[in-house]
């Protein structure tokens, strides 16, 4: 099982459809509820021309020390992706603010990680916009 985290706290996954690989994506053209799993070593440019057909992208974080997923999220948003963007794997609560700033809407973690990092730790970071130093500098 997994736990889904967003600014409201812990929740269950409401996505019921399958996740496709990049190789499966051209076959899904025109389908509804299209979700794609991206590995951390993927070039987001490989989704060029498909973004408007995708409802959700889930980016893998193989370890909490691997920050490539943050770059992927930022690039996808700059490319115009407006769908749901999810970080999956070894994302720790300390990284939640960075995940949100880079463009992720939610984080999916294992039950084991959720037991080690309870909802209170994530909730503390849910007000990530309040502590955005860039906003304070611009004011």
Q: Point out which residues pair with 72 in neighbouring strands.
A: none
Let me know: does 26 contact 53? Beta carbons within 8 Å.
no
The pLDDT of residue 31:
74
**What is the pTM for the complete model shown?**
0.88
Each residue's pLDDT tens digit in the chain (139 positions)? Answer: 789 999 889 998 999 999 999 888 876 666 788 999 999 999 999 999 899 999 999 999 999 899 999 999 999 999 999 999 999 999 999 899 899 999 999 999 999 999 999 888 888 777 666 655 666 666 6
Q: What is the CATH number of domain 2-130?
A: 3.20.20.70
The pLDDT of residue 18:
92
């Amino acid at each position: 099982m997994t736990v889904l985290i967003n600014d409201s706290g812990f929740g269950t996954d409401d996505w019921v459809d399958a996740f496709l690989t990049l190789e499966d994506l051209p076959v899904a053209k025109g389908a509804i509820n299209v979700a794609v799993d991206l590995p951390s070593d993927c070039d987001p440019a490989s989704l060029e021309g498909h973004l408007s057909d995708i409802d959700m992208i889930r980016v893998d974080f193989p370890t909490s020390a691997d920050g490539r997923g943050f770059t992927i999220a930022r690039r996808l948003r700059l490319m115009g992706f407006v769908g749901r963007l999810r970080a999956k794997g070894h994302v720790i609560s300390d990284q939640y603010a960075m995940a949100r700033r880079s463009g992720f809407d939610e984080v999916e973690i294992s039950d084991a990680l959720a037991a080690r990092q309870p909802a209170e730790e994530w909730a503390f970071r849910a007000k990530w916009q309040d502590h955005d130093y860039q906003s304070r500098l611009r004011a």
